[in-house]
Every structure is written in C-alpha cells, then in structure tokens.
Amino acid sequence: ARVDVERVIDPEQTKFFAPLEGAGWELVWADEFEGDALDRSKWTPEESCWGGGNQERQCYTDRAENIAVEEGSLFLRARKEEFSGPARPPEIAETPNPVLTQGYTSGKVRTRGLHAWKYGRIEMRAKVPGGQGVWPAFWLLGKDQWPG
C-alpha cells in the first residue's frame, strides 16, 4: 500500500490536468507502511459502530484483527463477529455516547486532525476485495465537514 500527497509548485504549469510524475509537483507527505505498526503520527483509527450514516452493519475498531501493517502494506480487515462499541465517532458523538452492537467489524483510518491539504494531487494504491456486500472506499473529505 502507498499513499502520496503532492503539492503543485507552479499552478500555471499544471492548470487543467495532472502532469506526468515529477513534472511541476513536490512530494509533501507519503506513507509506505513500513514496519509492523500503523504510524499514529499520520493516521488515526476510527472507533464507532454508527454505520457512517448509511446503515453499514459494522463497528470500526482499533484492534490488530481489523487494522494491521505487514510487509509494506496496510490491511483493513472485515470480520463477521458480533462487537459492541461507541455509537458515533468523537467528532459527532452524543453525550453520553451510547453503545451499539453490530454483526461485523472492520478497520478505518483517517488523517483527520493530523493532516489536511487545500490543493494537491493524492495518489493511492490498493487491492480491494470482491464480493457481495463489501464496499471498500478511499474518501477525500473536507477538513471540517462532509462536502455539501
């Protein structure tokens, strides 16, 4: 797995299209997922069971069973297992945050609160699973809110 963030050096040079690699871009952030643990200075796991607002039936956990770094790759693993956790992630949690139980667990990592970019090019390489009911996603969201 690999995630790179580049910023444009000369906006006039790259106005309407992404240039060939290196042409007018400077790498400002990357993760090659080296080592055997998630780099917590780059990523924050989400812990919630709320379903993302679209009735997903999993709890996102911060457990090694769901989030692992192995041999230069990040693994976000879905598992069929009953799990109870916080109903919502911290930024939208109620007080108190109720506990929900779901029939699946999964992993979700975010740069929220750690990194944000106004302009740039984001590249990501991933191998996604196939199968009915699986919805892998790589989201690019605004710093403080969902696009509206």
The whole-number pLDDT of residue 47 equals 96
The whole-number pLDDT of residue 14 equals 46
CB atoms within 10 A of CB 125: 9
99-106 and 58-60 strand pairing: parallel
Q: Which residues of the chain have pLDDT under 70?
A: 1-24, 145-148
The whole-number pLDDT of residue 133 equals 76
For the entire predicted model, the pTM comes to 0.81
Could you list the beta-strand ranges (E) of 9-119. Answer: 25-31, 44-45, 58-60, 67-70, 73-76, 79-86, 99-106, 109-110
The whole-number pLDDT of residue 74 equals 94
Provide Rg for the chain, Cα atoms. Answer: 17
The half-sphere exposure of 7 on its side-chain side, counting CA atoms within 13 A, is 7
The whole-number pLDDT of residue 8 equals 54
The whole-number pLDDT of residue 105 equals 95
The whole-number pLDDT of residue 91 equals 87
Q: How many helices (H) and strands (E) does the chain have?
A: 0, 10
66 Cβ contact partners less than 8 Å away, ≥ 6 residues apart: 60, 76, 77, 78, 79, 105, 106, 107
